[in-house]
């Protein structure tokens, strides 16, 4: 008789494994439906959200390898049942919002929050009632970008009143987090906290709400989309090939959950030297537009690398509010007009 296979060892593997983009391991996500051991064969039955289908091979390889390395295991079979995340089942916790757009990116640091904040200010400058929610749990930046020092006020019923600045209603997940303590919510707990937060903000009547999502494609993003009745997604990417490859994952996620990609934005597309006015394409230029056209997605516009944009973001006055007549502001106003038409 062969070695007895340790179920505890299999469990440890599942407990340690996190799908790229997910915010918790398979056990915490309740994705493991059964572990069957038959002689030297281990059969894992998993239930995963269909938004993870693009990572099926990665999951199979990782688990096949790790479980296959356990003493006595000769064969690993992985059966995956895909759980549908259909739009029809989604809740709408934002009944007073006419249109809700999420701003998303495949990876961090591409300027998603910069685009979200300037687009929101531009939309308000067009005369619409606009709200902006910073739901980027990993790097909330609204406090700095809008110079907000005080947290929001709450009603006696425990509802939260958004902060008003530059004609916008603003709310950030950071207002609920102690800056000196890292975020310890994970997995389903984090998703539950975000959902509750979403329903507790008194937005009032809004024409547009923009939600600045955490970068990447995982269950936090999916959970927010499921609870906000999102009308469309704006994807931000830099022109580098790798960045757009990540952006494609985000596009895939939105297609799975049936949220239309309303527009793609190329950020940091070129740099114009302020003294000699020479244009340098630091990360290349135009790649995102070409890729969007290939995928049949609307291209909303490009934003150059610009010192005023960076200073605006770090000083509490977004560029569109600080320099209303600059060419960059005109670019953001153009994007806002396109979105308003969508
Ligand atoms: N077009 C631009 N020109 C100059 N600086 C920019 C531009 N876009 C973004 N930045 C700067 O790059 C930094 C990162 O931008 P931002 O915080 O918007 O990225 P992000 O994608 O939201 O990042 P994350 O989601 O990982 O926090 C900021 O300091 C911002 O001011």
Contact 59, 21 (CB under 8 A): no
Residue 278's pLDDT is 76
Residue 162 lies in a domain: yes
Write the pLDDT tens digit of every residue in 267-305. Answer: 988 777 777 777 777 666 777 888 888 888 999 999 988
Task: State the distance from the centre of ligand 1 to the C-alpha of 305, rounded, in angstroms.
Answer: 10
Task: State the distance from the centre of ligand 1 to the C-alpha of 256, rounded, in angstroms.
Answer: 27
Question: What are φ and ψ of residue 248, in 5° steps?
Answer: -65, -30
Give the E-state strand segments of the chain in sequence order.
32-38, 41-49, 75-83, 97-104, 130-134, 153-154, 160-161, 163-165, 168-172, 206-212, 232-237, 261-272, 279-280, 299-305
Do 220 and 240 sit in the same domain of this protein?
yes
Do 144 and 51 sit in the same domain of this protein?
no
Do 117 and 169 sit in the same domain of this protein?
yes
Atom of ligand 1 nearest to the CA of 303: 1
Task: State the distance from the centre of ligand 1 to the C-alpha of 267, rounded, in angstroms.
Answer: 9
Atom of ligand 1 nearest to the CA of 140: 27
Q: Which of 84, 107, 132 is the last residue of a domain?
A: 84
Residue 143 lies in a domain: yes
Do 78 and 111 sit in the same domain of this protein?
no
Write the pLDDT tens digit of every residue in 109-154. Answer: 899 999 999 999 999 999 999 999 998 877 778 888 999 888 888 8
Task: State the distance from the centre of ligand 1 to the C-alpha of 111, rounded, in angstroms.
Answer: 3
Query: CB-based burial of residue 89 (10 Å sphere; 0-12 exposed, 13-18 middle, 19+ buried)?
Result: exposed
Distance CA 22, CA 19 (A): 5
CB neighbour list of residue 212: distance below 8 Å, 6 or more residues apart? 103, 112, 113, 116, 117, 132, 133, 134, 135, 136, 142
Pocket test for ligand 1, best of 280, 310, 312, 320 (most atoms within 8 A of CB): 310
Distance CA 251, CA 253 (A): 5
Q: Whose CA is nearest to atom 3 of ligand 1?
A: 305
Distance CA 113, CA 122 (A): 14
CB neighbour list of residue 281: distance below 8 Å, 6 or more residues apart? 239, 269, 270, 271
ipTM entry:
0.96
Which of 160-175 are b and which e, b meaning 16 or more Cβ less than 10 Å from the residue's Cβ?
A: bebbebbebbbbbbbb
Do 51 and 177 sit in the same domain of this protein?
no
Do 24 and 157 sit in the same domain of this protein?
no
Binding-site entries for ATP: 106-113
Residues with CB under 6 A from ligand 1: 105, 108-114, 136, 139, 141, 215, 267-268, 303, 305-306, 309-310, 313-314
* CA 184 from centre of chain: 19
CATH of the domain at 325: 3.40.50.300
Do 109 and 258 sit in the same domain of this protein?
yes
Residue 183's pLDDT is 54
Distance CA 85, CA 98 (A): 23
Q: Whose CA is nearest to atom 27 of ligand 1?
A: 139
Residue 153's pLDDT is 87
Q: Which of 50, 84, 118 is the last residue of a domain?
A: 84
Residue 2 lies in a domain: no
Give the domain extent around 40. 7-84
Q: Which of 22, 53, 84 is the last residue of a domain?
A: 84
Do 27 and 118 sit in the same domain of this protein?
no
Do 61 and 122 sit in the same domain of this protein?
no
How many domains does the chain divide into?
A: 2
Residue 152's pLDDT is 86
Do 185 and 49 sit in the same domain of this protein?
no
Residue 267 lies in a domain: yes
Residue 1 lies in a domain: no
Do 58 and 98 sit in the same domain of this protein?
no
The ranges of the chain with pLDDT < 70 are: 1-2, 85-91, 177-188, 242-243, 282-284
Do 144 and 209 sit in the same domain of this protein?
yes
Query: CB-based burial of residue 269 (10 Å sphere; 0-12 exposed, 13-18 middle, 19+ buried)?
Result: buried
Task: State the distance from the centre of ligand 1 to the C-alpha of 113, rounded, in angstroms.
Answer: 6
Residue 115's pLDDT is 96
Pocket test for ligand 1, best of 139, 280, 313, 327 (most atoms within 8 A of CB): 313
* 84 conformational bin, left if phi > 0, alpha if psi -120 to 50, beta if neither: beta
Residue 88's pLDDT is 45
CATH of the domain at 72: 3.30.300.130
Distances (CA, A) of 77 to 46, 81, 122: 11, 13, 53
Q: What do you get for the CA distance between the two ends of the chain, in Å?
A: 66
Task: State the distance from the centre of ligand 1 to the C-alpha of 295, rounded, in angstroms.
Answer: 25
């Amino acid at each position: 008789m062969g070695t007895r296979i340790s179920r505890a060892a299999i469990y440890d593997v599942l407990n340690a494994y996190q799908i790229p983009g997910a915010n918790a391991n398979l056990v915490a996500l309740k994705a493991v439906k059964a572990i069957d051991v038959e002689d030297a064969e281990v059969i894992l039955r998993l239930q995963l959200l269909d938004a993870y289908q693009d990572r099926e091979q990665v999951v199979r390889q990782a688990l096949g390898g790790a479980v296959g390395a356990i003493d006595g295991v000769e064969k690993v079979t992985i059966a995956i049942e895909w759980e549908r995340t259909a739009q029809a089942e989604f809740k709408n916790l934002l009944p007073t919002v006419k249109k809700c757009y999420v701003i998303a990116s495949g990876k961090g640091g591409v300027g998603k929050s910069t685009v979200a904040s300037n687009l929101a200010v531009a939309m308000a400058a067009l005369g619409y009632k606009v709200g902006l929610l910073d739901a980027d749990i990993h790097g909330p930046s609204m406090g700095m970008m809008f110079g907000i020092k005080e947290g929001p006020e709450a009603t006696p019923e425990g509802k939260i009143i958004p902060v008003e600045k530059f004609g916008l209603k603003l709310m950030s997940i950071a207002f609920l987090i102690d800056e000196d303590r890292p975020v310890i919510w994970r997995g389903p707990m984090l998703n539950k906290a975000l959902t509750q937060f979403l329903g507790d903000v008194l937005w009032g009547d809004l024409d547009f709400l923009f939600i600045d999502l955490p970068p990447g494609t995982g269950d936090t993003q999916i959970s927010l989309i499921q609870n906000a009745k999102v009308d469309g997604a704006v994807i931000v990417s830099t022109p580098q090939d790798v960045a757009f490859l990540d952006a494609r994952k985000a596009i895939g996620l939105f297609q799975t959950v049936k949220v239309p990609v309303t527009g793609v934005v190329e950020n940091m597309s070129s740099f114009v030297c302020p003294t000699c006015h020479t244009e340098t394409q630091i990360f290349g230029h135009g790649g995102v537009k070409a890729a969007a056209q290939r995928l049949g997605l609307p291209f909303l516009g490009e934003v150059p690398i610009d010192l005023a944009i960076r200073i605006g973001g770090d000083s509490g006055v977004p560029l569109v509010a600080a320099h209303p007549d600059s060419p960059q502001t005109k670019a953001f106003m153009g994007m806002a007009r396109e979105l308003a038409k969508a």
